[in-house]
């Protein structure tokens, strides 16, 4: 039940109360016409006449006179002894006094009711003043006391279905009688409203009373609230019944009510609306962990990949309730991973790779930055990590060829889809790979009528469209969903998306077809992402943290975790791609190699060509990394510099050159592009601060919450305040996962920073 406090919760933009006492004048014959709220007219008398005190005094005097007469007449008539007569007279006098006191208190209580009737006459739309309009009973707490039950009779024109009308009725009743009331029942046919007094003990927490008060203001005076406390006596949850189901039927209004309640409570709460039952339940929202290490899940490795294919669930994150979110490739064939540097995108990609390898899946990796997956070159079941452009082209070409080959087998009726071992293909940092590929293609493009673009680009899109039936699954990683390749057709081929960190409204529109989803993620919470739940609805999640084998220290927690995650059995051997110029089959060839030569390069087992195996070379040829990476070595001056250092193991005499690489490659990723880059600052992606009218504030803008602290936060929602009707509520969320609400007048000016309107495909 809703406790209705006499005073409003806020002073800002407070709604003027309807209470207006009728002037205490003598009532003219027939009453007078007065304009009521809403424009209708009601007939209201001048005031209720007070109960005369003279009648009570006269009855008291008569009772006392009777007592005296009894005392005097009894001895004269010799009906009793004098002592008995005196006692009878005293009892009569006491009875008379008690009767007078009782009637005097009844008169005082009636006066309280009269004042309440006069104050609410217009609000109740009474045709005339009558004491039948209010019935108060069960008085307690004091000589006059406060009634526990008040029944109001309203006029035919009263808007009894209006929540504000009921709120005003309860407010004025509480102020007039000095208690807190709530609507217990309403009988429209009899035009009656039954109010009951809240009898919660005075020791009830202020938070309990506050919840009931603002719930009435948000959901209507007729709503009822039941509060649940935890072991510490704090509010853990509360349920509001008899809400306006029509008003709160849409998701936008429900979200605003949820944020309003959270902003009025010391903790964040979430809402679960049941519009059918006209009720809502609020529960304390759990906090997201700042980091969650990848769990070591028990997997039945005795099952063959064909047997376990339909049951594979690659866990990658948890939601706020710690529910595990997983990717089921048999249902969602492809996954798109979106995120700028520093958001945790590469770490999440490592999580997907490690989890898939434990199921015994063969994995091919196209490492667009050339350095993000180096630590997994010797990871069990990772067959190849392509780090050069030529290798990456060969991987895409062979994955596409495998897909087409399997389609041919299906067409011939030789096999069915159930005979195919799954293959997981990672295309990471697509924008970098695409740029490098176009630059490289200019050097290896065949003459004549060769294609203007490398066919690897169209093959990647083809794998996204057709890979499911051939069980060639794709994990597509990119920093932003560029419009050039993220069309509707491409988007539909990725039923599961994970967008890391905060998106701009433009990027959110491309990724989620909504300018709102994913735009309020705290920027200083690495690994926080937007994804979908098991019902396909976008939710916020915390992605698992997986160590990079290349960066962990020996005997550290990360090293121990990787040992537990490492598959015990290698089911798929490592592979190498033989560069055309190093292939013995091309020993007699004099002409330059073109795109097709690299695309169709030979593949061999890594164990058969240790001279081409980067893992074997790193193990056999330790070098002084500091000297090798110095500018002097790069400039060809490394010999002298290396001799001046003590303890160097090896110093190359000549620097690497573009022609020294066995396969052409031009990676463009800089040091500041790696996933360990610092978090983006508040200035990234937004225009300069500007003063705008509150009506121009949009979701996704940055709003200045506190000028003195330079506290900026992203706007989560903008809409009419649910408590203050003449105000606008701006809900916000900052980079530290804090949230709140600004309540401003509809004419106010606020300081915001709009998202930059730079084209996504720039």
Sign of the CA dihedral with 368 first, then 370, 374, and 377 last: positive
Burial class (CB in 10 A: 0-12, 13-18, 19+), 292: middle
341 is in an annotated binding site: yes
Per the CB < 8 A criterion, the answer to whether 40 and 157 are in contact is: yes
Other Cβ atoms within 10 Å of 548 Cβ, number:
18
* Pairing state between β 324-327 and 603-605: unpaired
Q: CA-CA distance, 155 to 132, in Å (whole number)?
A: 12
Other Cβ atoms within 10 Å of 243 Cβ, number:
24
Q: CA-CA distance, 609 to 168, in Å (whole number)?
A: 86
Q: What is the CA radius of gyration of the chain?
A: 40
345 is in an annotated binding site: yes
Q: What angle do CA 330, 335, 338 make, to 5 degrees?
A: 165
346 is in an annotated binding site: yes
344 is in an annotated binding site: yes
DSSP E strand boundaries for 689-726: 690-693, 702-706, 711-720
340 is in an annotated binding site: yes
Extract the tokens encoding 280.
């809502």
Q: CA-CA distance, 493 to 60, in Å (whole number)?
A: 94
Per the CB < 8 A criterion, the answer to whether 183 and 194 are in contact is: yes
Q: CA-CA distance, 441 to 49, in Å (whole number)?
A: 100
453 is in an annotated binding site: no
Cα dist from 708 to 91, 298, 712, whole Å: 77, 52, 11
Residues 6+ apart with CB under 8 A from 377: 385, 574, 614, 615
DSSP-derived 3-state class of residue 584: helix
H or E element in which residue 235 lies = strand 235-241
Extract the tokens encoding 648.
């160097």
Q: CA-CA distance, 354 to 332, in Å (whole number)?
A: 18
**What are the two backbone dihedrals, phi and then psi, of residue 714, each rounded to the nearest 5 degrees?**
-85, 140
654 is in an annotated binding site: no
Start-end of H helices in 446-590: 455-470, 488-492, 505-512, 557-565
Q: CA-CA distance, 109 to 101, in Å (whole number)?
A: 12
Ramachandran quadrant class, 372 (left: phi over 0; alpha: psi -120 to 50; beta: rest): alpha
User: Residue 106 has what DSSP assignment?
Assistant: H
Q: Residue positions in the annotated binding site for ATP?
A: 339-346
Q: Residue positions in the annotated binding site?
A: 339-346
């Amino acid at each position: 039940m809703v406790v209705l406090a006499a005073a409003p919760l806020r002073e800002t933009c407070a709604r003027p109360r309807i209470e207006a006492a009728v002037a205490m004048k003598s009532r003219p014959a027939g009453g007078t016409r007065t304009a009521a709220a809403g424009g209708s007219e009601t007939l209201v008398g001048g005031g209720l006449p007070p109960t005369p005190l003279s009648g009570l005094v006269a009855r008291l005097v008569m009772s006392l006179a009777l007592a005296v007469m009894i005392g005097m007449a009894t001895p004269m008539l010799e009906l009793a002894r004098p002592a008995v007569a005196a006692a009878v007279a005293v009892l009569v006098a006491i009875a008379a006094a008690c009767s007078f006191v009782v009637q005097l208190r009844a008169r005082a209580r009636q006066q309280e009711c009269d004042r309440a009737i006069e104050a609410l006459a217009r609000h109740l739309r009474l045709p005339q003043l009558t004491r039948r309009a209010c019935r108060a009973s069960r008085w307690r707490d004091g000589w006059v006391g406060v009634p526990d039950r008040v029944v109001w009779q309203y006029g035919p024109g009263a808007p009894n279905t209006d929540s504000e009308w009921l709120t005003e009725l309860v407010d004025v009743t509480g102020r007039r009688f000095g208690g807190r009331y709530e609507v217990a029942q309403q009988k429209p046919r009899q035009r009656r409203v039954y109010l009951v007094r809240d009898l919660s003990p005075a020791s009830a927490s202020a938070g309990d009373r506050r919840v009931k008060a603002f719930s009435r203001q948000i959901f209507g005076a007729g709503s009822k609230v039941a509060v649940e406390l935890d072991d510490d006596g704090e509010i853990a949850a509360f349920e509001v019944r008899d809400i306006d189901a029509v008003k709160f039927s849409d998701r936008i209004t429900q979200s605003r009510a949820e944020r309003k309640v959270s902003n009025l409570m010391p903790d964040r709460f979430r809402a679960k609306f049941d519009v059918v039952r006209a009720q809502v339940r609020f529960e304390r929202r759990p906090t997201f962990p700042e980091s969650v290490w990848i769990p070591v899940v028990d997997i039945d490795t005795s099952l063959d990949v064909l047997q376990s294919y339909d049951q594979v669930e690659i866990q990658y994150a948890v939601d706020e309730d710690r529910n595990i979110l997983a990717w089921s490739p048999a249902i969602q064939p492809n996954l798109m991973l979106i995120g700028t540097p520093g958001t945790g995108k590469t770490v999440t990609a490592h999580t997907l790779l490690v989890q898939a390898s434990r199921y015994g899946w063969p994995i091919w990796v196209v490492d667009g930055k050339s350095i993000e997956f180096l630590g997994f070159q010797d990871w069990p079941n990772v067959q190849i990590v392509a780090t050069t452009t030529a290798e990456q082209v060969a991987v895409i070409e062979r994955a596409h060829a495998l897909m087409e080959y399997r389609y041919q087998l299906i067409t011939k009726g030789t096999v069915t889809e159930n005979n195919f071992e799954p293959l997981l293909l990672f295309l990471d940092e697509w924008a970098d790979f695409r740029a490098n590929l176009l630059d490289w293609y200019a050097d290896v493009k065949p003459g004549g009528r060769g294609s203007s673009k490398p066919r690897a680009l169209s093959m990647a899109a083809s794998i996204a469209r057709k890979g499911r039936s051939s069980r060639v699954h794709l994990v597509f990683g990119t920093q932003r969903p560029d419009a050039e390749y993220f069309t509707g057709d491409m988007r539909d081929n990725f039923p599961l998306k994970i967008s890391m960190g905060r998106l701009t409204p433009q990027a959110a529109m491309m990724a989620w077809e909504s300018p709102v989803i994913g735009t309020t993620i705290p920027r200083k919470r690495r690994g926080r992402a937007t994804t979908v739940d098991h019902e396909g609805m976008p939710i916020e999640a915390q992605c698992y943290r997986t160590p990079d084998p290349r960066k962990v220290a020996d005997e550290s927690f990360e090293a121990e975790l990787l040992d537990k995650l490492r598959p015990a059995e290698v089911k798929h051997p490592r592979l190498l791609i033989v560069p055309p110029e190093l292939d013995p089959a091309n020993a007699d060839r004099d002409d330059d190699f073109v795109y097709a030569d690299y695309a169709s390069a030979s593949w061999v087992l890594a164990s058969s060509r240790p001279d081409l195996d980067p893992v074997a070379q790193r193990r056999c040829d330790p070098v002084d990394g500091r000297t090798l990476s110095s500018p002097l070595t790069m400039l060809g001056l490394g010999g002298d510099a290396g001799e001046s250092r003590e303890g160097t193991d090896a110093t190359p005499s000549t620097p690497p050159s573009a022609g020294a690489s066995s396969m052409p490659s031009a990676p463009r990723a800089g040091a500041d592009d790696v996933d360990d880059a610092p978090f983006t600052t508040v200035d990234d992606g937004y225009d300069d601060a500007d003063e705008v009218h509150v009506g121009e504030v949009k979701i996704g803008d940055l709003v200045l919450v506190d000028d003195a602290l330079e506290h900026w936060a992203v706007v989560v929602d903008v809409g009419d305040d649910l408590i203050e009707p003449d105000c606008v509520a701006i809900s916000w969320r900052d980079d530290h996962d804090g949230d709140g609400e600004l309540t401003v007048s509809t004419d106010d000016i606020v300081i915001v920073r709009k998202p930059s309107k730079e084209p996504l495909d720039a």
